[in-house]
Structure 1
Amino acid sequence: MMCLLTGSFSQNTWFSYILFLVFLGGMLVLFIYMTSIASNEFFQKSNYIFLIMVSMTIMFLIMAIYLFLDTYISLNNTNESLSFLTMFKMNDKYLLANLYNMPNSIMTIFMVLYLFLTLIVVVIITKSYRGPLRPMN
């Protein structure tokens, strides 16, 4: 979803392609890692982790709706006529500045929140008092 948003917000789509390949590579590494650690074990469901995931999902949805409505209302209040293509047109010298300014800052905020959520999940999975992840026989 982030790759589609990135591709639709900018004129060149190289950033969205690279982002998609990085996400896909990360998912492949996580899949191989989890299959090597616990090949035939069942995972236990935890209500605590489920509660965190549900609350983070609700928070993301509320933020997305709020940011979309805020951008939509501010665009309707301007006196000059702005089209979708002219609003997202990027010049060469302002290419990096447009990535972190409105309305593209929403995409950056979502990527930061996604990385923070994965950091929290990895820290919860790898608790230090349990020792190494893969037990050696």
Structure 2
Amino acid sequence: MYLSSIIMTNTIMSTFMKHPLSMGFTLMVQTAMLCMNQSTISKTPWYMYVLFLTTVGGLMIMFMYMASIASNEKFKLSIKMMIMWMTMSTMMMILTNNDLSMECMYKMTEMKLQTTEMIEEKSTSKFFMMNKMNITITMMMILILTMVSVTNISSTFEGPLKKY
């Protein structure tokens, strides 16, 4: 309940970010919250782990790029932005914490308990279909080939992206 209100607040606050590092941090927090929220709902949380690790890997690459391009810019925390975030998160928590949402959560939990036995056998079939295995293997081979190509093309003696 509170996790979804924080996700909504982060989504709204991400539109006000101006620095690339703060945008990346907001995206990482948003992904972590979303993965935690979805892993509590689903029976197998491995898909959320893969999503989180993929996003963090991409953010690390973007962080390295931004650190080499915009290394001299100062990163300031805005007090106005912090007050706005605290106010919005408090408002979201108050708005989502009513009897109707509690009743809805109770019904969802009851439905989840009733269908657990039926879903237990087919929990991984939602994410991976055996008839699409050729596409998955082809994508893996393309990604490995791309990784090997980029590793061979890039030279460690060239230096960083930005010359000082």
Answer whether TM exceeds 0.5 for this pair: no
Q: How high is the TM-score relative to the length of structure 2?
A: 0.38
Higher-helix-fraction structure:
2
